[in-house]
Amino acid sequence: MHVVITYDISEDKRRTKIHKILSSYGQWMQFSVFECSLTATQYTKLRNRLNKLIKAEEDSIRLYFLCECCQPKVERIGGEAVRDETVFFA
């Protein structure tokens, strides 16, 4: 499944932690916006990790799901390019 995750976190320290967790599951697109393509297991794991960290009364996280047919219709102007995941070089 393809998920767009946005967040608003009041505290700097907690925001950095959220950022680090999310970078393990997807790609950082803009400030407070991630795009992740996950399996159901990976999604559950991610949500568990976020749940443990978040303070629901101060912070907010939004997860928007994109269906298969909407995914290729995403238009991106400028900014971060989508990572090529067929092969990685270093």
Partner 1 sequence: MGTVYISTDDTFIGKTDERLRVRAQKETLLDVPLIKVDGVVILGRATVSPAALIELLERKIPLSFMTGTGRFLGRLEPELNKNIFVRSAQWQAAGETDRSIHAVQGFIRGKLKNYRSTLLRAQREGIDGLEAGITRLEQATNPINQTSIIDALRGLEWAGSAAYFGHFGRLIRNGDFSFKTRCRRPPTDPVNALLSFGYALLGHDVQGAINIVGFDPYLGYLHTQRYGRPSLALDLMEEFRPLVVDAMVLSAINRKALTPSDFADEPVSHAVSLTDEGRRKFLRLYEQKKQSKFKHPVMGRQCTYQEAFEIQARLLAKYLMSETEQYPPLVLR
| DSSP assignment of 37-85 | E--HHHHHHHHHHHHHH--TTT-EEEEEEE-TTTGGG----SSPPPPP-
Q: Is 42 in the site for partner 1 (CB under 8 A)?
A: yes
When the beta carbons of 36 and 61 are compared against partner 1, the nearer one is: 36
- 60-89 positions binding partner 1, by CB under 8 A: 83-89
C-alpha to C-alpha distance for 39 and 10, rounded to whole angstroms: 29
Interface stretch with partner 1, choices 6-14, 21-29, 50-58, 59-67 (CB under 8 A): 21-29
- Tally Cβ neighbours within 10 Å of residue 71: 12
Q: At closest approach, how far in Å is the CB of 83 from partner 1?
A: 8
Q: Which residues bind partner 1 (CB under 8 A)?
A: 20-21, 23-26, 38, 42, 83-90
